[in-house]
Structure 1
Amino acid sequence: MKVFLGIDTSCYTTSAALADEDKNIVCNLKIPLEVAQGKKGLQQSQAVFLHIRNLRTMFERNILASYGDIAAVCVSAAPRPQEGSYMPVFTVSAMAGALASSVTGAGLFYATHQHGHIAAALIGNRKPEQFLAVHVSGGTTEILKVAAQKTGFDIEVAGATKDIAAGQVIDRLGQMLAMPFPAGRYVEECAQGSTGELGFKVSTNGTEMNFSGVEAQMGRALKTHSAETVCASVLTAVAKTLERSVKEAVKQSGLCDVLFFGGVMSNRKIRAYLAERIPEAQFAKIEYSADNAAGLAVLASDFERGSEV
């Protein structure tokens, strides 16, 4: 049986995945990068070291050849499909992919982290010819206008945060509450105990978003309100900000199909809020929402039959 290998080394997770000839994910491996308690994240040099260590562990514990003959490899070689887009962490996936290709004789294809996210988010969802893709994570908050190609996607930025990413607000709240990093899961759990919300003001300008105001409000609110109430209020403010900007992007582009993905979109409270208010919304499955290599494995299958992104 032919299988297709995807490898991704993002700022948060080391991941490798295999897809079969029908694009079913038959192996989905992920190891989070370790961040010390109280730290906001990792320096790129630290992350590169951890990815190398994680890949060794991953390949020692899992015999990928047992799933079939690797026919093609696709890796994330850059964060986004934009000129000058670069982060050192992605040199690790590029190196690992080149090694896998050399050893197996499989074709090697380079994509971006964002291409992989979109492909993963489409697993189990409809794939319109054109749609809006909303990438919401700790490092990125963008609304993308996407045209599906025979292989890969044509991507154009239609809106974005003008200050900090949505995930940064959540992580900074977690840091204030002495939660582990990244804090998304812990903030979501804390919010479940809330009995009310504070109605934080949100800031948008067309398809542009600002989250620093929410950060300021949550800092003040923690002095007088419970952690549960503040966590719930922050998540609602993030969802409301996304709702306003995405609806404006729908209006401007004429595209009604919207696909949400990224680590922040693993949050069930935010997903439920947006699902009620954006009729044509689709969401990446939880297991494919945060950083993963599953979409790159699917793209490897496409690229083997066509051309590169």
Structure 2
Amino acid sequence: MPERFLGIDTSNYRTSAAIYNAETGEWVNRGGLLTVPEGAIGLRQSDALFQHTVRLHEKIEALPQGEVRAIGVSTRPRAVEGSYMPCFLAGESVARSAAHLLSVPLFTVSHQQGHIAAAALSAGKLDLLDGEFLAWHLSGGTSELLHVKCGADGLPDCTCIGGTTDLAAGQLLDRAGNLLGLPFPSGGALDALALTAEPEKGFRPKVNECKFSLSGMQNQVENKFKTAEPKQMARFALETVANAVIKATEQAREQYHCPILCAGGVMASQIIRARMNKRFGGEVSFAEPTLSGDNAVGVAVLAAKLCNR
């Protein structure tokens, strides 16, 4: 049986299917952003579920054909009680049907666990998944600093020890991008614009026990929009997020002396990555940009890990 594994992830903003070869480490991901109306900064769950249902078969059909040993699918945002989003039903329904027809095992994981596995694969550090580390999951809907260990079930056991107490980092950046007329999600375009600006210190949010608030930062960004060039406002927003992330990481490292893994679409920012690298050097690892955002590769990696236990 070939060591090929199918992963499926239907997050709030991207439909994704992937094949991962556990023998070679090679992967193929086929994903696409959902359509968000111009000027909007999000989608209703019913709209996201509909788009996933219509598009998922196209992503799977675009994958290289061949047998798979098992199928993995994300069924919830986080591996905690009560974590639920209807959009994941689209992927779960297809995955359960395919596993039944192919007579292969089905493994369910969380979207967050998939992000972490994709980052570990991309950084060339899959061995982290068998140990202990700190992980940032920084995206449009999540800004969590996690203490991660390998759970009894073989999956990443994530305990949230810090992050935002209100507005997610990605939400702040998307709202900044909306002010500038950038497409949603705005992270990539905002980062590109910010890289053309002069160095900017940004605002330093108060960080206490690895936790911080970003809701007040929206007012700071809006004020910057009124008084500064667009590129400078973009830089200000990203440097502000970087300041909070670095301070929270420093506080966490006082208690947990272990490596740091960075996952999630916001962590694709060149500005945030450069700041983290400068502060933590070889102790911090990142997913490459194509595996920073939502994808099914990490889900397939976890299916391989569980199948081979």
Q: TM-score range by the shorter chain?
A: over 0.9
Tell me the CA shift for residue 191 of structure 1.
0.9
Question: How many angstroms apart in 2 are the aligned matches of 1:160 and 1:21?
Answer: 33
CA contact (8 A) 1:15 1:31 kept: yes
Question: How many angstroms apart in 2 are the aligned matches of 1:199 and 1:262?
Answer: 21
Question: How many angstroms apart in 1 are the aligned matches of 2:74 and 2:223?
Answer: 40
Tell me the CA shift for residue 198 of structure 1.
5.8
1:192 corresponds in structure 2 to 195
Question: How many angstroms apart in 1 are the aligned matches of 2:191 and 2:14?
Answer: 20
TM-score (norm 1): 0.94
Residue 26 of structure 2 is aligned to residue 25 of structure 1: yes
2:146 corresponds in structure 1 to 144
1:164-243 equivalence runs, <5 A:
164-197=167-200, 199-243=202-246
Residue 112 of structure 2 is aligned to residue 109 of structure 1: no
Question: How many angstroms apart in 2 are the aligned matches of 1:22 and 1:195?
Answer: 46
Give the secondary-structure state (helix, strand or coil) at the position aligned to 2:220.
Answer: helix
Question: How many angstroms apart in 2 are the aligned matches of 1:291 and 1:157?
Answer: 20
Question: How many angstroms apart in 2 are the aligned matches of 1:102 and 1:179?
Answer: 43
Question: How many angstroms apart in 2 are the aligned matches of 1:111 and 1:221?
Answer: 41
Deviations 1:129-153 (A, max 9, x none): 1000110001000011111257222
CA contact (8 A) 1:136 1:167 kept: yes
1:4 corresponds in structure 2 to 5
1:247 corresponds in structure 2 to 250
2:164 corresponds in structure 1 to 161
Pick closer, same or farther for the CA change 1:7–1:243 going to 2, 3 Å.
same
Question: How many angstroms apart in 1 are the aligned matches of 2:252 and 2:80?
Answer: 20
Unaligned runs of 5+ residues in structure 2 are none
Structure 1 range deviating more: 14-23 or 178-187:
14-23
Which letter maps to 1:203?
A: K
CA contact (8 A) 2:201 2:239 kept: no
CA contact (8 A) 1:130 1:255 kept: no
2:276 corresponds in structure 1 to 274
Structure 1 range deviating more: 188-197 or 71-80:
188-197
Question: How many angstroms apart in 1 are the aligned matches of 2:284 and 2:67?
Answer: 37
CA contact (8 A) 2:19 2:300 kept: yes
CA contact (8 A) 2:132 2:258 kept: no
1:71 corresponds in structure 2 to 69
Question: How many angstroms apart in 2 are the aligned matches of 1:74 and 1:59?
Answer: 13
Deviations 1:28-70 (A, max 9, x none): 111111111100110000000111111122234x254x2x311
Which letter maps to 2:145?
A: I
Deviations 1:81-125 (A, max 9, x none): 110000001111111110210221111111100111111010143
Tell me the CA shift for residue 256 of structure 1.
2.9
1:90 corresponds in structure 2 to 88
1:118 corresponds in structure 2 to 116
Deviations 1:179-227 (A, max 9, x none): 1100011111211221242632322112101112221111011111101
Unaligned runs of 5+ residues in structure 1 are none
CA contact (8 A) 1:138 1:166 kept: yes
Deviations 1:263-283 (A, max 9, x none): 100111110111110231111
Give the secondary-structure state (helix, strand or coil) at the position aligned to 2:76.
Answer: coil
Deviations 1:127-178 (A, max 9, x none): 3310001100010000111112572222211112111000111000011111
Give the secondary-structure state (helix, strand or coil) at the position aligned to 1:122.
Answer: helix
CA contact (8 A) 2:4 2:67 kept: yes
Tell me the CA shift for residue 248 of structure 1.
0.6
Question: How many angstroms apart in 2 are the aligned matches of 1:24 and 1:119?
Answer: 13
CA contact (8 A) 2:19 2:63 kept: no
CA contact (8 A) 1:263 1:289 kept: yes
Structure 1 range deviating more: 149-158 or 93-102:
149-158
Name the Cα RMSD after superposition.
1.5
Structure 1 range deviating more: 152-161 or 30-39:
152-161
Question: How many angstroms apart in 2 are the aligned matches of 1:63 and 1:183?
Answer: 28
Tell me the CA shift for residue 255 of structure 1.
2.4
Which letter maps to 2:4?
A: V
TM-score (norm 2): 0.94
Give the secondary-structure state (helix, strand or coil) at the position aligned to 1:159.
Answer: strand
